[in-house]
Amino acid sequence: VPQPTLAGLRVVISAGGTREALDPVRFLGNRSSGKQGLALAQVAAERGAQVTLVAANVSLPAPPGVQVVPVESALDLAEAMTARADDADVLVMAAAVADFRPKQYVDAKIKKTHAPGHEDDAPVIELTRNPDILAALVQRRRERGTARPVIVGFAAETGDDEGDVLHHARAKLARKGCDLLIANEVGRDVTFGKDESTVHVLVAGSTAEPVTIGPAPKASIAAGVWDAVQQLLAP
């Protein structure tokens, strides 16, 4: 059996977690390690793709042969993905993107007051919505009237059981409009930062039961995700 291949395809993967700056030294962040995105980049590179990793605050090293574009915030990540979207064959949004950012960025470090009678004062941080990057990438492709790039989203879903997780994931797939949605079960057997994970692969427009991968190392999950992508790419 010939080894499945992504030879010559241009793949752009976002990984890690965005940081939304409050002031020069503080941010709102999340616990995403970037491990799943790195595993996806590694497998894609091994299968012959030309891989760009848009890395949001990833401290782990990138696999060999992968071009890394470091970003910090959701807006940075949106810009980096959008700039590369039209030339890509596959886009994968594996990053944990902040849904909100502080409404105001304060140029100097926020200080506590020592004014008499105000020793207990604390600032109120107002938030504003970040764009949904995945949905925007889908919209952009729709406006261009092309079938490429294939667009893959991730969804961290909690639920009381697998049925719950799949129900939420199906709704999200429809809402986002991407081609594949990789639903991560979180809060049960897996959490951010772990080396193992369980995912369900949902295919847009398919009535087939979602394929479940895992519990398995993130490298095996990555292989399964690329197998699913390759099925969509095949004529």
Is 30 among the residues known to form the active site? yes
For the chain, report the end-to-end CA distance as a whole number of angstroms: 18
Output 74 or 201, the one with its CB closest to ligand C5P: 74
Determine if 179 is a binding residue for ligand C5P (CB under 6 A): no
Q: Which of residues 13-42 bind ligand C5P (CB under 6 A)?
A: none
Binding mask 68-107 for ligand C5P (x = CB under 6 A): ------x------------------x-x-x-x--------
| Helix/strand/coil (H/E/C) assignment for every residue in 5-52 | CCCCCEEEEEEEECCEEEECCEEECCCCCCHHHHHHHHHHHHCCCEEE
Q: What count of residues does the chain have?
A: 235
**176 annotated ligand-binding residue:** yes
**Least distance from C-beta 145 to ligand C5P, angstroms?**
22
Single out the catalytic residue among 30, 57, 130, 184.
Answer: 30
Fill in the per-residue mask, 137 to 176: x = in contact with ligand C5P (CB under 6 A), - = not in contact: ----------------xxx---------------------
CB of residue 209 vs ligand C5P: minimum separation in angstroms?
22
Is 111 annotated in a binding site? The answer is no
CB of 164 to ligand C5P, least distance (A): 15
Q: Which of 134, 166, 180, 202 binds ligand C5P (CB under 6 A)?
A: 134
Q: How is residue 79 written in tokens? A: 């810009």
Binding residues for CTP: 99, 109, 131-134, 154, 172, 176
